[in-house]
Amino acid sequence: MKKILLMGAGKIGEMITEMLAGSGDYHVTVADINDAALAKMPKYDTVRTINLNVKDQSALDKEMAGKFAVLSAAPYQITKFIAEAAVRNSVHYFDLTEDVACTRIVKDLAKKSDVALIPQCGLAPGYISIVAYDIAKKFERLQNVHLRVGALPKIPSNALKYNLTWSTDGLINEYCQPCEAVINGRLVETPPLEELENFSIDGIDYEAFNTSGGLGTLCETLEGKVQNLNYRTARYPGHRDILKLLLQDLRLNERQDVMKDIFEYALPFTYQDVVLIYVTVTGDIDGRYVQDSYAHKVYNQEIGGKMWSAIQVTTSAGICAMVDLLAQGKLPNKGFVKQEDVDFNDFITNRFGKYYA
């Protein structure tokens, strides 16, 4: 049985614990500074909880001892401390961060690591990169690679047409930070909330706009091989304009703590959500200009006798599948591992990856 240290007992941490401990193959120690959150963790004989501050280096090192891997489901701001401890203690490292700066720190740490450091293991970045790269590999010449992902309420009931389903810190961060893209073959940064577009799938209208971090390492992987590569978050129409009012006109992008308070006070959490995953690739195959697309929706569902939101399921399934694949010897066991290094068929046939099928 592999021993796992999970940092973070929030919505995603709870689901990760259910998946890993429920499989019967992992013993999970869940660490957080919030005792109330720790008390909500699934009750298995193979689950242990501990109140732990990641900045307490000696306590963190003690908990790392003997672990196969450490998983960060904590706020992106403390990723650095967890990754440093993983390298220091020779424990494999996984995280869910969409923050570009955090991933650069992890990549730099991997240069001197004797274990695997695998960041961005969730939905976007994460699974979306695995899908996009799997499609892109079919092409002799790549023109456009477009990635669109949205975690949306099934029954929108407010002007934003949105409910909280995951980390509020992560949500606001991706709305505020610069976005990577490849435009006309050049790697560039684009502003968040711009380049608004509209599309429909299954008769439902959506809008999409630039947000940060969703491409993961795809820009680096495909630079020089693709003319245009971008990632945009999908929402119901009208959402983006309200965000621009709040974040730019009212300058709440400079007071993200206030924005977080407003969102968590006014927007209810929901388990009744849907995750939309949409990839379109155009280019040449066998001398013909071809488009190949992937569109899929994942809904909230019952696991282990409890209802879980679609974003909890997809995000957690991504990181759990990566842990499983490493344990099975299907991923490099040393250095920096990109999401697109993962074979799509290995992922989608994995017992955790199957939640995306």
Domain ranges of the chain: 2-119, 130-307
Average pLDDT, the chain: 96
Q: How far is CA 252 from the centre of its chain?
A: 24
Say which residues have a Cβ less than 8 Å from residue 82's Cβ, sequence separation at least 6: 7, 54, 60, 70, 72, 74, 93, 95
Q: What is the pLDDT of residues 177-193, one digit of tens each?
A: 999 999 999 999 999 99
Count of CA atoms in the C-beta half-sphere (13 A) of 62 = 11
CA distances for 145 relative to 11, 12, 42, 219, 267, angstroms: 31, 29, 39, 10, 33
Q: Is the pLDDT of residue 100 over 90?
A: no
Continuous segment of H or E residues that includes residue 58: helix 57-64
pLDDT band at 301 (very low <50, low <70, confident <90, very high): very high
* Confidence (pLDDT) at 169: 87
**Would 2-119 and 130-307 be classified into the same CATH topology?**
no
Q: What is the pLDDT of residues 231-288, one digit of tens each?
A: 999 999 999 999 999 999 999 999 999 999 999 999 999 999 999 999 999 999 999 9
* Confidence (pLDDT) at 98: 84
Residue 204 main-chain phi, psi, to 5 deg: -105, 130
Q: Is the pLDDT of residue 56 over 80?
A: yes
* Confidence (pLDDT) at 99: 82
pLDDT band at 166 (very low <50, low <70, confident <90, very high): confident
- The whole-number average pLDDT for the span 336-351 is 97
CATH level 3 topology of 130-307: Dihydrodipicolinate Reductase; domain 2 (3.30.360)
Taking residue 44's Cβ as centre, other Cβ atoms within 10 Å add up to 17
Taking residue 202's Cβ as centre, other Cβ atoms within 10 Å add up to 7
* Confidence (pLDDT) at 86: 97
pLDDT band at 208 (very low <50, low <70, confident <90, very high): very high
* Confidence (pLDDT) at 170: 83
- The whole-number average pLDDT for the span 281-309 is 97
pLDDT band at 59 (very low <50, low <70, confident <90, very high): very high
* Confidence (pLDDT) at 263: 95
* Confidence (pLDDT) at 45: 97
Name the CATH superfamily, with its identifier, for domain 2-119.
NAD(P)-binding Rossmann-like Domain (3.40.50.720)
Q: Which of 62, 76, 100 is nearest to 10 (CA)?
A: 76
pLDDT band at 331 (very low <50, low <70, confident <90, very high): very high
For the record, the structure tokens of 321 come out as 């599948």
CA distances for 193 relative to 32, 175, 185, 233, 266, angstroms: 33, 7, 22, 9, 21
| Spatial contact of 88 and 58, defined as CB atoms under 8 Å apart | no
What is the four-CA torsion angle of 284, 288, 289, 291, rounded to 10 degrees? -80
| Spatial contact of 276 and 297, defined as CB atoms under 8 Å apart | yes
Share of the chain above pLDDT 90, in %: 94
pLDDT band at 357 (very low <50, low <70, confident <90, very high): very high
d(CA 74, CA 71): 9
Q: Which residues in 67-102 are b (16+ Cβ under 10 Å) and which e? A: bbbbbbbbbbebbbbbbbbbbebebbbbbbbbbbeb
